[in-house]
Amino acid sequence: MFSFDFVIMGILNLNILISGSTGFVGNNLVDFLTKNNHKVIRLVRKEEPYPEKQIYWNPNSGKMDINKDEKIDAVVHLAGENVGEGKWTEEKKKKIVESRLKSTKLLVENIIKLETKPKVFVSASAVGFYGNRGDEKLTEESKKGNDFLSDTCQEWEKYTKIVQESGIRTVVTRIGVVLDDKHGALSKMIFPFKMGVGGILGNGKQYMSWIDIQDLVRLIDFCISNDSVNGVVNAVSPNSVTNSKFTSTLGKVLSRPTLFPLPQFVGKIIFGEMGDALLFSGQNVSSEKIVNLGFKFNYPDLEKSLNRIILGKK
């Protein structure tokens, strides 16, 4: 059952405030929303050469230059230190946590003080919330894991409850591995696979819950526009795969052999805790909730997604 608010939001162009708008997902989301005639407002730490309106903020100093009468229909919060870049030293882990908690706290405090509150607040989180769970099928109701990423995601998501309690519809997207040829995990894997030295990671049995970047931005837009979407939503393809399956599919698309496995103990030496958490752990995450709410994936199949991304096939 769709409310009157949904009808209005679906027809009118929206003013959408985005944090993390200059990142990989953020830039793709801005492009998608502007092409669909929405007005994007970027939260930035310094003035950037973008055509969209910009609002300065600095989560470290707790400063955000937003007027209380600013008209904002929706907020998308994507800001946070990249977890996949560099070893997880104590300093890096501190940045990962603080970049998420400080930015969310600052954004939430300012949003709930606006004279006219947004209709919806969509915040990123990650499937890392669930920890390393083998082949267990994980839904939004599944318990958190017991590692660094799980704890970080839990604390990150807590701040969104303040928004929800203020009366704003709130959605938390637990995002899987985002596939794109220029950014993220896939971009780093393509070159060695092209050279014929790709292979499984560890025993290859760990699950990888992934999503095509085009589907991710469409899913976020769906969460903005559809007022039946509330609470936690898994932002992953309906078809999670094991690392072994991912490896063989990537090799097939690239027409390259996949004969060179990376043993887990070697990965730990090279990448440390980060490699253990991101490369050798896995989650078999379900997207049934968002599908049942009416979202249709354009790229639910891994081979189809990789063919689009790498070979340009539609």
pLDDT at position 4 is 40
Q: Structural domain tally of the chain? A: 1
Assigned domain for 215 exists? yes
Express as a percent the part of the chain with pLDDT over 70: 95
The whole-number pLDDT of residue 120 equals: 98
Q: What does the pLDDT read at residue 7?
A: 41
Decide if 270 is inside a domain.
Answer: no
Q: Domain range holding 125?
A: 4-176+210-236+286-297
Whole-angstrom distance, CA of residue 192 vs CA of residue 203: 19
Q: CA dist 248 to 80, 129, 262, 264, 301, Å?
A: 32, 27, 14, 18, 14
pTM for the whole thing?
0.93
Predicted local distance difference test score (pLDDT) of residue 84:
85
Domain for residue 32, yes or no?
Answer: yes
- The answer to whether position 255 is within a domain reads no
Q: Is residue 181 part of a domain?
A: no
Q: How high is the pLDDT of residue 71?
A: 96
Has residue 219 been placed in a domain? Answer: yes
- pLDDT at residue 138, rounded to an integer: 98
User: Taking a C-beta distance cutoff of 8 angstroms, is the pair 240, 207 a contact?
Assistant: yes
* Pairwise pLDDT comparison (275 vs 140), residue with the higher score: 140
Does residue 6 have a pLDDT over 60?
Answer: no
> What is the per-residue pLDDT for 12?
60
Q: For residues 112, 117, 122 and 128, what is the CA-based torsion angle, rounded to 10 degrees?
A: 10
- Is the pLDDT assigned to residue 1 strictly greater than 80? no
Tens digit of each residue's pLDDT (9 = 90 or more) over 58-101:
999 999 999 999 999 999 999 999 998 888 999 999 999 999 99
Whole-number pLDDT of residue 3: 42
- What totals of helices (H) and strands (E) does the chain contain, helices first? 11, 14
The predicted model gives 127-152 an average pLDDT of 96
pLDDT, one tens digit per residue, over 23-56 is 999 999 999 999 999 999 999 998 788 899 999 9
Does residue 262 form part of some domain?
A: no
Strand order from edge to edge, sheet including 15-19: 63-64, 53-58, 39-44, 15-19, 74-77, 120-126, 169-175, 231-235
Cα–Cα distance measured from residue 158 to residue 128, given in angstroms and rounded to the nearest whole number:
15
- pLDDT, the chain, mean: 92
CATH of the domain at 227: 3.40.50.720
Residue 8 has pLDDT above 60, yes or no: no
* Mean pLDDT, range 142-160, rounded to an integer: 95
Residue 252 has pLDDT above 90, yes or no: yes
Average pLDDT over every residue of 149-178:
96
Q: How much is the average pLDDT of 153-171? A: 95
DSSP letter, residue 201: B
Contact yes or no for 32/217 (Cβ under 8 A)? yes
Q: At residue 86, what is the residue type?
A: G
Task: Evaluate if residue 2 carries a pLDDT over 50.
Answer: no
pLDDT(10) > 70: no
Q: Distance between CA atoms of 21 and 43, rounded to whole angstroms? A: 7
Query: Once rounded to an integer, what is the mean pLDDT over residues 6-25?
Result: 78
Residue 184 confidence class, pLDDT cut points 50, 70, 90: confident
For tokens 């607040």, the residue is 121
The pLDDT of residue 113 is 95
Q: What is the pLDDT of residues 185-201, one digit of tens each?
A: 898 889 999 989 899 99
Residue 292 falls inside a structural domain? yes
Cα(213)–Cα(216) distance, rounded to whole angstroms?
5
